[in-house]
């Protein structure tokens, strides 16, 4: 039987196993919405802005490992989604974004709500397609999911003109997809793995540095096994938190610009660096000239282009992190060599000395609420088991420093692109993917206003998210830089004319709370977490002058931190 | 690469987005109509060339990539040049064409169009030799390349 393009679209999603899509209707996608209306297998979540829809799909993907799916209309629908697509691209998140397009006969005509979606998204997608013939639609959708979810994951855009969704043809969804021009490597080169293991076991001052790649490949178990077996210190990037249990003593905390003293010093002084699914981002390396001056480097990554991009590597291994680590563990088991216990003991002694500096200390007796205190209490009250999303700025760094993630996929933030407005919609996606789990969005009064319209979506779908708004009446990170580097000239970093957030939340039908005293923090958090079926907006009035420490100033090396 | 709409812009976009140099780029379909072949001439340090290679390989439309400068290879570029051909210089132009093994392929009362192919240096030299005349138009195809011997780029 022949189906319309719109029916083929919906059937393809079904056959792909998609349960939820996030989107916003419009002229070019009306046929598709009509087809969605007439079925029950794929649930559509109506967000209040296309950017919100894209971030929600992103949060869904990050928290579940399944690809996030977005559906928006042509023109402004597509351009509004671009920030969400770019956010997913920078963090290698599997996502498929369907954009409506004007009918093929009008393409290039400056038609109403026309934009060159394929052109606009090209630099921020893994790949994109324009479907010009309904007979290509099902296979293109299959390709899109295949590309988005394999190799180094990433967003794929499929642009579908309106007339294609009305045309008819026979439907069949390909079971498997192979492409001659796309064959991601999985297994690492056995010779390179053996060489790497030999170098790793010869280390006197080893360091393991891991990123988002471990989480994307679901390789936390392999990483933990290997790290335990070796007894080496380990640090995670902002994107990699949760891949190794933060409460374990081998874990030195996050590294980089606002990383811990012990992690950054150990990086600087190590003699063998084992980089796993991480990409030597500038926020991690600091001044590249001064980075790991004495280290031989092993780098495992699925993307060959990530290797030797910023830092010269001694032993590159291209392959999926999980497969390579598994192979490494078995090479170590089969071999005779073991880690150098004596050298390791010395190394740990040095590390413990660094750790004893207690670089994350802050004023616990403050009469104004300290943001760090809220996060410590949040960690305690949720027993470290919540899905925590964040926006971008000081609150993001504080969360990374103070909420100890023991499990992967629990920490959800925009690391690469640094997108303010990400937190709330990402929490919606995380809650949709994990019903019954505690989902918390840590944000600030600046970021939350960038997608605050999603409070309405949360009401419509009864998403019991808990928002922790660290309200210091400043764009805190901007203010911090202005204090440090612009002689306290706080240009445009003060947020005037703020709403009463608790009342605002109440007007959307949610529970609003305003917390102004440190002594009320714990009680309020407990009360909010007890409301299992309610969305609670907690507005914490925090210290305006608090800064994120420690900090590596721009241009400095990892051993040149500013401590409090 | 896959002979698909947009493939060329992915390559061009990659070079501009990452700030790589692009000296010339030629592209046309091959004997297999689903594939087109592109020759790119670029410059950069060894590290940059390595990155360019990796980034190009990462494009989904790129089927296979070889670095021709790694081995012996042939480069050819074609030039079409229109020069003012007044009576007193006609003989000189014809002589230069012979020396460079070019062909005069269009003649009008006042101008010649000359076709010449060779490596880029030869084309440069020929244009230089014509500088005394009035050059009206220069069209260069950009470089196409192929490996010498049995080494080949096959899919």
Alpha-carbon dihedral A452, A457, A463, A468, rounded to 10 degrees: 0
Q: Are residues B94 and B56 in the same domain?
A: no
Domain containing residue B16: CATH number: 3.30.70.260
**Is the separation of the CB atoms in A3 and A11 below 8 Å?**
yes
Q: Are residues B51 and B114 in the same domain?
A: no
Q: Could you say which residues from 298 to 357 on chain A have a Cβ atom under 8 Å away from some Cβ of chain B? A: 303-305, 308-309
* B117 lies in some domain: yes
Look-up: residue for tokens 């919609």?
A: A425
**Is the separation of the CB atoms in A318 and A188 below 8 Å?**
yes
Q: Could you say which residues from 172 to 201 on chain A have a Cβ atom under 8 Å away from some Cβ of chain B? A: 179-182
Secondary structure element (H or E) that encloses residue B31, with its range: none
Q: Are residues B91 and B45 in the same domain?
A: no
Q: What is the pLDDT of residues A502-511, one digit of tens each?
A: 999 999 999 9
Secondary structure element (H or E) that encloses residue A405, with its range: none
B143 three-class SS: coil
**Shortest CA distance to A405 belongs to which of A456, A440, A361?**
A440
Does residue A50 have an active-site annotation?
yes
Does residue A112 have an active-site annotation?
yes
Q: Are residues B46 and B105 in the same domain?
A: no
Q: Using a CB–CB cutoff of 8 Å, tell me whether A288 touches chain B.
A: no
Supply B137's token pair: 């138009």
Q: Are residues B58 and B90 in the same domain?
A: no
Residues of B with CB under 8 A from a CB of A: 1-2, 5-6, 9-10, 13, 17, 47, 50-51, 54-55, 57-58, 60-63, 155
Q: Are residues B42 and B99 in the same domain?
A: no
Write down the catalytic residue from A50, A327, A376, A454.
A50
Shortest distance between the Cα of B51 and any Cα of chain A, in A, equals 6
**Distance, C-alpha A382 to centroid of its chain:** 21
Write down the catalytic residue from A95, A200, A254, A477.
A477
* B150 lies in some domain: no
* B112 lies in some domain: yes
Share of chain B above pLDDT 70, in %: 100
- C-alpha–C-alpha distance, residues A530 and A543, integer Å: 27
Write down the catalytic residue from A19, A43, A113, A290.
A113
Q: What are the structural domains, with CATH classification, of chain A?
A: 2-170 (3.40.50.970), 190-355 (3.40.50.1220), 371-541 (3.40.50.970)
Longest dimension (CA), chain A: 74
Residue A258: band (very low, low, confident or very high) from pLDDT cuts 50, 70, 90: very high
Q: Which class for A428: exposed (0-12), middle (13-18), buried (19 or more C-beta within 10 A)? A: buried
Mean pLDDT of A151-173: 98
Q: Are residues B81 and B132 in the same domain?
A: yes
Res B132: pLDDT: 86
Contacts of A81 (CB under 8 A, 6+ apart): A50, A51, A53, A54, A70, A72, A97, A99
Q: Are residues B113 and B132 in the same domain?
A: yes
Within 8 A of A182 by CB-CB distance, chain B residues are 60
Q: What is the pLDDT of residues B54-97, one digit of tens each?
A: 999 999 999 999 999 989 999 999 999 999 999 999 999 999 99
Secondary structure element (H or E) that encloses residue B152, with its range: none
Nearest CA in chain A to B16: A123
Supply A292's token pair: 């790991």
Contacts of A507 (CB under 8 A, 6+ apart): none
Average pLDDT, chain A: 97
Q: Are residues B88 and B135 in the same domain?
A: yes
Q: What is the pLDDT of residues A107-143, one digit of tens each?
A: 999 999 999 999 999 999 999 999 999 999 999 999 9
Supply B85's token pair: 């051909």
The vertex-A451 CA angle with A528 and A278, nearest 5°, equals 90
Res A495: pLDDT: 85
Q: What's the number of CA atoms in the CB half-sphere (13 Å) around residue A272?
A: 23
The vertex-A503 CA angle with A502 and A504, nearest 5°, equals 90
Contacts of A455 (CB under 8 A, 6+ apart): A424, A504, A505, A508, A510, A535, A537
Contact B63 A119 (CB under 8 A): no
Look-up: residue for tokens 């700025």?
A: A393
Sign of torsion over alpha carbons A248, A252, A258, A261: positive
Mean pLDDT of A350-368: 96
Sign of torsion over alpha carbons A298, A299, A304, A305: negative
Q: Are residues B19 and B80 in the same domain?
A: no
Shortest distance between the Cα of A221 and any Cα of chain B, in A, equals 29
**Shortest CA distance to A359 belongs to which of A209, A178, A549?**
A549
**Distance, C-alpha A473 to centroid of its chain:** 26
* B41 lies in some domain: yes
* B116 lies in some domain: yes
Residue A53 confidence (pLDDT) above 90: yes
Within 8 A of A130 by CB-CB distance, chain B residues are 5-6
Residue B155 confidence (pLDDT) above 90: no
Res A477: pLDDT: 97
Residue A520 confidence (pLDDT) above 90: yes
Residue A234: band (very low, low, confident or very high) from pLDDT cuts 50, 70, 90: very high
Share of chain A above pLDDT 70, in %: 100
Residue A466 confidence (pLDDT) above 90: yes
Residue A1: band (very low, low, confident or very high) from pLDDT cuts 50, 70, 90: confident
Residue B152: band (very low, low, confident or very high) from pLDDT cuts 50, 70, 90: confident
**Is the separation of the CB atoms in A75 and A115 below 8 Å?**
yes
Mean pLDDT of A46-56: 98
- C-alpha–C-alpha distance, residues A232 and A348, integer Å: 9
Which residue, B30, B46, B65, sits at the end of a domain? Answer: B65
* B152 lies in some domain: no
Domain containing residue B99: CATH number: 3.30.70.1150
Which residue, B65, B88, B103, sits at the end of a domain? Answer: B65
Nearest CA in chain B to A144: B60
Secondary structure element (H or E) that encloses residue A449, with its range: none
Give me the number of domains chain B comprises.
Answer: 2
Supply A307's token pair: 């290797």
Distances (CA, A) of B49 to A87, A484, B66: 28, 39, 12
Mean pLDDT of A294-298: 97
Does residue A289 have an active-site annotation?
no
Print the domain residue range for B33.
7-65
Share of chain A above pLDDT 90, in %: 98
User: In 10 A of CB B19, how many CB atoms?
Assistant: 8
* B1 lies in some domain: no
Q: Are residues B54 and B99 in the same domain?
A: no
**Burial profile A102-115: b = 16 or more Cβ within 10 angstroms, e = fewer:** bbbeeeeeebebbb
What pTM value is reported for the model?
0.96
Contact A181 B61 (CB under 8 A): yes
Res A372: pLDDT: 98
Shortest distance between the Cα of A127 and any Cα of chain B, in A, equals 7
- Three-state SS sequence of A452-466: HHHHHHHHHCCCCCE
Supply A520's token pair: 């009320």
Which residue, B45, B65, B85, sits at the end of a domain? Answer: B65
Res A456: pLDDT: 98
**Shortest CA distance to A305 belongs to which of A276, A279, A286?**
A279
Interface test with A, best of B58, B65, B155 (most A CBs within 10 A): B58
Sign of torsion over alpha carbons A420, A426, A427, A428: positive
Residue A554 confidence (pLDDT) above 90: no
- C-alpha–C-alpha distance, residues B128 and A465, integer Å: 72
**Shortest CA distance to A34 belongs to which of A173, A170, A162, A169?**
A162
Residue B151: band (very low, low, confident or very high) from pLDDT cuts 50, 70, 90: confident
Q: What does residue A302 show for φ and ψ, rounded to 5 degrees?
A: -80, -20
Within 8 A of B62 by CB-CB distance, chain A residues are 181
* B2 lies in some domain: no
Secondary structure element (H or E) that encloses residue A215, with its range: helix A212-216
Res B40: pLDDT: 97
Q: Are residues B85 and B52 in the same domain?
A: no
């Amino acid at each position: 039987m022949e189906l319309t393009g719109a029916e083929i679209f919906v059937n393809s999603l079904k056959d792909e196993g998609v349960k939820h899509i996030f989107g916003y209707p419009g002229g070019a996608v009306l046929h598709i919405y009509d087809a969605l209306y007439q079925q029950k297998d794929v649930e559509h979540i109506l967000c209040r802005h296309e950017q919100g829809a894209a971030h929600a799909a992103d949060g869904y993907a990050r928290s579940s490992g399944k690809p996030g799916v977005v559906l928006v209309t042509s023109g402004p629908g597509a351009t509004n989604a671009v920030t969400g697509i770019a956010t997913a691209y920078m963090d290698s998140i599997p996502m498929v974004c369907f954009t409506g397009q004007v009918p093929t006969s009008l393409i290039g005509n400056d038609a109403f709500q026309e934009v060159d979606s394929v052109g606009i998204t090209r630099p921020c997608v893994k790949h994109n397609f324009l479907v010009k013939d309904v007979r290509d639609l099902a296979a293109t959708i299959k390709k899109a999911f295949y590309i988005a979810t394999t190799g180094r994951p990433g967003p794929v855009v499929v642009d579908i003109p309106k007339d294609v969704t009305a045309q008819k043809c026979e439907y069949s969804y390909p079971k498997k997809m192979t492409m001659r021009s796309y064959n991601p490597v999985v297994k690492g080169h056995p010779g390179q793995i053996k060489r790497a293991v030999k170098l790793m076991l010869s280390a006197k001052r080893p360091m393991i540095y891991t990123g988002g790649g471990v989480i994307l490949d679901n390789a936390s178990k392999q990483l933990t096994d290997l790290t335990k077996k070796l007894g080496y210190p380990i640090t995670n990037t902002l994107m990699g938190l949760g891949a190794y249990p933060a409460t374990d003593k081998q874990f030195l905390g996050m590294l980089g610009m606002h990383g811990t003293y012990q992690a950054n010093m150990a990086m600087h002084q190590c003699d063998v660096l084992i980089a796993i699914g991480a990409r030597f981002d500038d926020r991690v390396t600091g001044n590249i000239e001064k980075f790991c001056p004495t280290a031989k480097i092993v780098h495992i990554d699925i993307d060959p282009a990530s290797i030797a991009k910023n830092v010269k590597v001694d032993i590159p291994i291209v392959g999926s992190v999980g497969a390579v680590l598994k192979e490494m563990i078995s090479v170590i088991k089969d071999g005779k060599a073991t880690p150098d216990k004596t050298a390791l003991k010395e190394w740990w002694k040095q590390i413990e000395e660094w750790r004893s500096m207690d670089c994350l200390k802050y004023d616990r007796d403050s009469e104004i609420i300290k943001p760090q205190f809220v996060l410590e209490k949040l960690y305690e009250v949720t027993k470290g088991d919540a899905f925590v999303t964040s926006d971008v700025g000081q609150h993001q760094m504080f969360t990374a420093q103070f909420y100890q993630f023991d499990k992967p996929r629990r920490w959800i933030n925009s690391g690469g692109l640094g997108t303010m407005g990400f937190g709330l919609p990402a929490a919606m996606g995380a809650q949709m993917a994990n019903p019954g789990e505690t989902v918390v969005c840590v944000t600030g009064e600046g970021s939350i206003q960038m997608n605050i319209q999603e409070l309405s979506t949360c009401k419509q779908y009864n998403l019991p998210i808990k928002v922790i708004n660290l309200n210091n009446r400043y764009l805190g990170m901007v203010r911090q830089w202005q204090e440090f580097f612009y002689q306290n000239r706080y240009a445009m970093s003060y947020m005037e004319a703020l709403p009463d957030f608790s009342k605002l939340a109440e007007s959307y039908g949610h529970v609003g709370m305003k917390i102004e005293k440190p002594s009320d923090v714990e009680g309020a958090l407990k009360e909010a977490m007890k409301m299992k079926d309610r969305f609670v907006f907690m507005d914490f009035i925090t210290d305006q002058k608090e800064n994120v420490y420690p900090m590596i100033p721009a241009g400095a090396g990892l051993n040149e931190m500013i401590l409090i | 690469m896959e002979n698909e709409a947009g493939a060329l812009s992915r390559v061009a976009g990659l070079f501009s987005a990452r700030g790589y140099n692009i000296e010339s780029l030629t592209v046309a379909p091959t004997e297999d109509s689903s594939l087109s072949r592109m020759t790119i001439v670029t410059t950069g340090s060894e590290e940059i060339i390595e990155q360019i290679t990796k980034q190009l390989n990462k494009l989904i439309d790129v089927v296979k990539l070889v670095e021709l400068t790694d081995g012996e290879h042939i480069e050819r570029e074609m030039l079409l040049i229109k020069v003012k051909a007044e009576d007193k210089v006609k003989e000189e132009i014809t002589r230069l064409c012979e020396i460079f093994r070019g062909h005069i392929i269009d003649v009008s009362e006042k101008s010649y169009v000359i076709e010449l192919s060779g490596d880029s240096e030869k084309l440069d030299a020929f244009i230089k030799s014509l500088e005394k005349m009035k050059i009206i138009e220069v069209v260069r195809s950009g470089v196409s390349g192929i490996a010498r011997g049995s080494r080949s780029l096959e899919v």
